[in-house]
């Protein structure tokens, strides 16, 4: 009797022992992989984690309560969880080996939640320094009229003390449809959320890096979305406080800044496209960009594109900003005029010629003063003098300085003027920019005479 009961219990508990043994094996494997990762990053940072995460039903493994401390720093990057998920445990157990061979499983998802970054840390200050060193001061930053803060410094000005983000990256492959899908979702609290979905046509039985390099993977479609969740509202408040401008003034000035940047880069956009860029600065703004080429695009079949319009026709894009469809036709390009750089010899020659001209002028003045009956005339001093808008056309080719009603100053050479607008050419570090400015937006015009 007791033997039968023991046998029955053994049969009933056998699955439990099997599951417990499998769980222990997984726990040991995840712990071993984590220790290998800690050893690899040890020269650069100290990696710690709280506990191992295993979900047998969801086919998930990962680490929770992760702390990363860069070498030589006391700063800590906090991470709530890092989880990897596959379609089944067979793929999970072969995952590391397949990835090492450059092969992808049929389904793979990686979840990184609760990434917390302190904006007052020394690491944030290092990033700010790197940003300022890499930034080209000759390229104007949009909405710079609100203040000179940028990068991490700007985020602190907007009231952010830390950034908390969740990220999900997934890959799936359908052999029947010969299609692979890559999906990325990143959400930063009180800032914004962005998603990217890429659909690929796969030529072959599986997806691998070697196949992609050989043209075995082609782009079927690309979709990008963005949703503001607090950044724009904070930035408009910052502009109102620091520059004293309301939302309507911000839109008008920002539109002018876009015009300036386009003139500098040579890109030409339509009024609708510029209005769309302005609308992206409004609170709760949304963007959806979809690209679906007429035929799958890959390295093996690059299209022959002779113009921007031809590229748009082939890529077949659509753009929606805050519910408004934005036509993308009309985008143009004209190479900006490059600033001429003089050689050392040319600079010396130019300086010598200027010195000789000044010496000759002084000699002529002395000769005039040496005449007995000569009455020395006071030399006329050239300076910027204010003129009316109707007089601007008289000074084509001359130096000018304009001040708009919003206090923005533009200096350069007048190349055209009429009753509605004045066209100014301004020399910049990267070339020459041309601005057409409506006279009703100009509060003051000065010319050098």
Domains of the chain, earliest start first: 46-135+146-333 (no CATH), 380-448 (2.30.30.100)
Report residues of the chain scoring pLDDT below 50: 6-10, 12-19, 337-348, 350-352, 374-381
Task: Report pLDDT for 377.
Answer: 46
Task: Report pLDDT for 134.
Answer: 75
E runs forming strands in 144-191: 162-174, 179-188
Residues with Cβ < 8 Å from 61, sequence gap 6 or more? 26, 30, 52, 53, 54, 55, 83, 84, 92
Task: Report pLDDT for 371.
Answer: 55
- Decide: 273 and 328 in contact? Cβ < 8 Å: yes
Q: Could you tell me the pTM of the whole model?
A: 0.66
Task: Report pLDDT for 339.
Answer: 44
Quick: pLDDT tens for 60-84.
888 889 888 887 777 788 888 988 8
* Cα(36)–Cα(28) distance, integer angstroms: 12
Task: Report pLDDT for 189.
Answer: 92
Task: Report pLDDT for 345.
Answer: 47
Residues with Cβ < 8 Å from 263, sequence gap 6 or more? 336, 433, 434, 435
Task: Report pLDDT for 74.
Answer: 76
């Amino acid at each position: 009797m007791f033997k039968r009961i023991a046998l029955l219990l053994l049969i009933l508990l056998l699955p439990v022992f099997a599951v417990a043994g499998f769980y222990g094996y997984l726990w040991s494997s995840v712990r071993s992989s984590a220790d290998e990762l800690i050893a690899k990053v040890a020269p650069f940072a100290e990696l710690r984690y709280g506990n191992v995460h295993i979900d047998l039903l969801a086919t998930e493994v990962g680490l929770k309560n992760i702390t990363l401390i860069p070498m030589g720093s006391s700063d800590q990057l906090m991470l709530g969880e890092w989880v990897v998920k596959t379609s089944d445990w067979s793929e999970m157990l072969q995952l590391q080996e397949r990835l090492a061979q450059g092969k992808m499983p049929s389904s793979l998802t990686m979840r990184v939640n609760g990434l917390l970054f302190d904006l007052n840390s020394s690491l944030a200050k290092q990033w700010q320094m790197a940003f300022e060193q890499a930034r080209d001061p000759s390229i104007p930053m949009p909405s710079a009229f609100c203040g000179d803060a940028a990068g991490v410094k700007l985020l602190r000005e907007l009231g952010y003390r830390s950034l908390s983000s969740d990220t999900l990256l997934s890959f799936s492959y359908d052999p029947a449809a010969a299609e692979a899908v890559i999906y990325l979702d990143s959400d930063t609290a009180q800032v914004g959320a962005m998603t990217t979905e890429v659909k690929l046509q796969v030529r072959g039985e599986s997806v691998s890096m070697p196949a992609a390099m050989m043209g075995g993977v082609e782009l079927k479609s690309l979709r990008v979305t963005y949703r503001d969740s607090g950044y724009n509202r904070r930035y408009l408040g910052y502009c109102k406080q620091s520059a004293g401008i309301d939302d309507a003034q911000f839109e008008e000035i920002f539109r002018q800044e876009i015009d300036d940047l386009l003139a500098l880069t040579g890109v030409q956009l339509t009024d609708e496209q510029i209005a769309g860029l302005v609308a992206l600065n409004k609170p709760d703004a949304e963007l959806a960009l979809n690209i679906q080429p007429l035929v799958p695009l890959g390295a093996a079949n690059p299209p022959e594109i002779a113009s921007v319009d031809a590229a748009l026709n082939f890529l077949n894009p659509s753009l929606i900003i805050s519910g408004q469809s934005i036509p993308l036709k009309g985008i143009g390009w004209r190479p900006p005029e490059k600033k001429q750089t003089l050689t050392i010899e040319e600079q010396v020659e130019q300086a010598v010629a200027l010195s000789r001209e000044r010496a000759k002028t002084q000699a002529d003045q002395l000769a005039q003063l040496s005449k007995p009956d000569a009455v020395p005339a006071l030399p006329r001093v050239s300076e910027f003098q204010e003129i009316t808008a109707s007089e601007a056309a008289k000074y084509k080719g001359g130096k000018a300085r304009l001040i708009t009603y919003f206090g923005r100053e533009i200096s350069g050479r007048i190349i055209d003027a009429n009753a509605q607008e004045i066209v100014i050419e301004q020399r910049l570090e990267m070339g020459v920019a041309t601005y057409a400015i409506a006279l009703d937006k100009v509060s003051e015009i000065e010319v050098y005479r």
